[in-house]
Amino acid sequence: MLKLHSENSMVARQKSVTKSILHRGLIAAISLYIVSANAVAVAAESSAANELKKPKSLTVSSTAFGAGSAIPKQYTGDGKDLSPQLKWTAGPAGTKCYALSVEDPDAPGGTWWHWILVNIPSNVTQLSEGVSRSKALPVGCAEGKNDFDKPGYNGPMPPKGQNHHYHFKVVALNDNLKLRQGCTKEQYEAAIKGHITGQGELIGTYSH
May I ask the CATH class of domain 56-207?
A: alpha beta
Hey, how many other C-beta atoms are within 10 angstroms of the C-beta on 98?
Answer: 26
In terms of Cα–Cα distance, which of 180, 62, 75, 184 is closest to 125?
62
Question: By CB neighbour count within 10 A (0-12 exposed, 13-18 middle, 19+ buried), where does 117 fall?
Answer: buried
At 30 the pLDDT is 65
- List the chain pLDDT tens, one digit each, 208 residues: 545 445 555 545 565 645 565 566 666 656 666 656 565 554 545 444 444 479 999 999 999 999 999 999 999 999 999 999 999 999 999 999 999 999 999 999 999 999 999 999 999 999 999 999 999 999 999 999 999 999 999 999 999 999 999 999 999 999 999 999 999 999 999 999 999 999 999 999 999 7
Coil vs helix vs strand at 33: helix
Q: How far is the C-alpha of 85 from the C-alpha of 51, rounded, in Å?
A: 32
CB 175 within 8 A of CB 118: no
Q: Which residues are within 8 A (CB) of 134 and not within 5 positions of it... i.e. 6 or more apart? A: none
At 51 the pLDDT is 43
pLDDT digits (tens, 9 = 90+) for 4-57: 445 555 545 565 645 565 566 666 656 666 656 565 554 545 444 444 479 999
At 44 the pLDDT is 47
Domain borders along the chain are 1-54, 56-207
Question: CA–CA distance from 39 to each of 45, 46, 177 (Å)?
Answer: 10, 10, 38
pTM here? 0.76
Helical spans, DSSP H, in 54-146 = none
At 40 the pLDDT is 52
CB 200 within 8 A of CB 58: yes
Q: How far is the C-alpha of 118 from the C-alpha of 171, rounded, in Å?
A: 10
At 5 the pLDDT is 47
CB 201 within 8 A of CB 169: yes
Q: Which residues are within 8 A (CB) of 200 and not within 5 positions of it... i.e. 6 or more apart? A: 57, 58, 59, 60, 88, 89, 169, 170
